[in-house]
Amino acid sequence: MAKQTTVQPVVRKSGFEFLQTLKKNNHRDWFNTHKDRYQQELEQVELFAEALLRELNKHDEIETPSGKKSLHRIYRDIRFSNDKTPYKTNWSGNFKRATKFRRGGYYFHLEPGNSYLTGGFWAPNAPDLKRIRDEIAFDAAALRKILKSKSFTTTFGMLKGEQVKTSPKGFDASHEAIDLLRYKQFLLTRQFTDKEVLSDQFLTTASTTFKNMRPFFDYMSEVLTTDTNGLEI
């Protein structure tokens, strides 16, 4: 009886090579001709995403039901874009944390020369942004402690995201936490080389990277699920 080979949940070099070739031939005729190859590489990425989901559920609770369901479609929405190429040239997906008490989410973007993992709050609605800023204005010490921790700085460097140029409405430009109050987005991002992504250790690295977001997520979750008196909302 032939020994069965276990397919490892890794990002394969052939998956990156497909994306590179697609970038040079980004039109429907080429894609349709190579649809079988696309499906093969997609299945491998689904295996990776499924394995990553299992790892995430070891240290968090994820609502996304499967790795396959986490993946974004390769088809671009070109209705309002000047770029009319029909296909994305990356593998990407996101995982949603379970229940309203676990805020934030995890996103992965795998692309030759431009791979990264990110998480946080891309576009907080007005009430959420106001609540975050109110908490920072009242006491920024807890957030600063997280942002200065070794696990944060070695993994993400610093907090990223769009900021207002001066001061947000209702907050004094001379406030001691104005550097944090200016943020409109709150993002944690880590870039990776192709070599790192294609390594057998990338699954573990990705899980650890996302795990290091938890102190920030836990802080934000508490802020966004309580009022300024600390009562649940």
pLDDT 10s digits, 156-203: 999 999 999 999 999 999 999 999 999 999 999 999 999 999 999 999
Could you give the percent of the chain with pLDDT greater than 90?
90
The DSSP letter of residue 200 is T
3-state secondary structure of 62: strand
Average pLDDT over residues 214-222: 97
Q: Token digits for 57?
A: 């559920």
**196: DSSP letter:** H
Check whether 6 has a pLDDT greater than 80: no
Least confident of 142-146, 166-170, 205-209, 227-231: 227-231
Share of the chain above pLDDT 70, in %: 97
* pLDDT given for residue 159 in this prediction: 98
Question: 123: left (phi > 0), else alpha (psi -120 to 50), else beta?
Answer: beta
Model pTM greater than 0.85? yes
User: In 139-188, which ranges are continuous DSSP H helix?
Assistant: 141-147, 150-156, 178-181
- The pLDDT-based confidence of 227 (bands split at 50, 70, 90) is confident
3-state secondary structure of 186: strand
Helix (H) or strand (E) holding 204: helix 202-211
